[in-house]
Amino acid sequence: MSISWGNWAVRVYAAEAWLSLAPRFAAERPEIVDRIGEILADHQPAVRLQAAQNLQVISAAAPDRMWEMGERIAAAETDPRVLTAYLARSLRRFSHAEPERCEHILAIAKRRLDDFADDASGRDHIQECLGGWVAQLQAGQGRQFASAWIDEWAADPERFQNALNAYTSSLRGAFFGRYAADAEQGDKDMNDRAQEGLAKILAPALDISAKTHAVLSSNVPGEEKLAAGREYSAAERVIYHAMNQLYFGAGVRAEDKEDGPGLNNAGAKARFLADYADMLALLRRSREPATQHHLIELYEHLIPGDPVAVFTAIHAILTGPGAEEGYQFESLGSTAVVKVVRRYIADHRGIFEDPERRAKLVEILQLFSEVGWTDAIRLLYDLPDLLR
């Protein structure tokens, strides 16, 4: 989402010129500040954009005027691209220095969410911007004001999924900050707050998913099913998006390790399993095969941290929601499960000396063998020899 202009957009370049003069001369020449105010009232969005995204240039010369103009943008700007540029660029510079004033302006913008429609791709860029802001204020700075917004959004993922997904995307690195070798107390505190926010999102989304799934499985009229289907899909999209932040942030795939500190040793993986036990338990309730698949691959990555606990969790997914929703019919599912079993046999064979755990292993392989996956059948057939 951007605003473009051509070489002959003279008023745009004039606006840029006034903005470039402000840092050096606005204190002595107040007419520069007046002109910037006029730019914000221009009928062309491209002209207004120049002032909105660079309003901080008058912060030293006219701070009160700057905040007044910011309130005007939040309350009256009609182009979502201009409003988003102000919130994401100029205002963001004051998140630490003036958090209360930022929150005041954000609240004004939030009240106007219904004034703007999603773009052609279905994205709400103002929601996404506010979601990123909440990640900064709640997880980054511990502001309770922003925490209340998460509760409101999480109760209605169909309406606020853009904001919720932007929140979790913004915190992918923060979810793993405490596991870095050079982690400081601030990283750990931010990690705690990020986990708190994630739990606020996942628990309601999974409750909505379960409730609407029951409606979809019932004999209610078609209109009710359509409404339930929309709610279910929105909730599960939020869950899947959150799942992916943990999946990619943990470094499950080698090419994604640069996204954050990841989990690079058995100790870090064991700590993650303990710290995120409640979150992983929530994710195991998802009925969507795509979420289940990434969760199983994440668990495979975590095996060195606690082989027994991970195996128990994988068994619960595969024989519970996974089996109910047909994960065993997915070719990617068969590949993932066979890979997990082979890794256990190679590296952690001893845990299957326990008869109950061995029976669970057989149950998993039978589940995938019964639908005809050749590798699962072969592995089940060879299992007695492999476990000797």
Pick out the chain residues at pLDDT < 70. 1-2, 4, 6, 8, 120, 255-261
pLDDT of residue 222: 85
pLDDT value at residue 117: 77
Note the pLDDT of residue 258.
54
Q: Which residues of 46-64 are buried (b: 16+ CB within 10 A; e: fewer)?
A: bbbbbbbbbbbbbbebbee
Is 171 within 8 Å of 194 (Cβ atoms)? Answer: yes
Q: What is the pLDDT of residue 181?
A: 87
Residue 1, pLDDT score: 57
Q: What is the pLDDT of residues 138-161, one digit of tens each?
A: 999 999 889 999 999 999 999 999
- Spatial distance between the Cα atoms of 176 and 180, rounded to a whole number of angstroms: 7
121 DSSP 8-state letter: T
Residue among 100, 111, 258, 87 nearest 166 (CA):
87
Q: What is the dihedral of CA 12, 15, 20, 24, to 10 degrees?
A: 170
Cβ–Cβ < 8 Å for 145, 137: yes
pLDDT of residue 261: 64
**H-only helix segments in 171-184:** none
Q: Residue 282 belongs to what H/E stretch?
A: helix 277-283
Contact 46, 5 (CB under 8 A): yes
Looking at residue 311, what is its pLDDT? 97
Instruction: Measure the CA–CA gap between 283 and 296, rounded to whole angstroms.
Output: 11
User: 273 and 306 in contact (C-beta within 8 Å)?
Assistant: yes
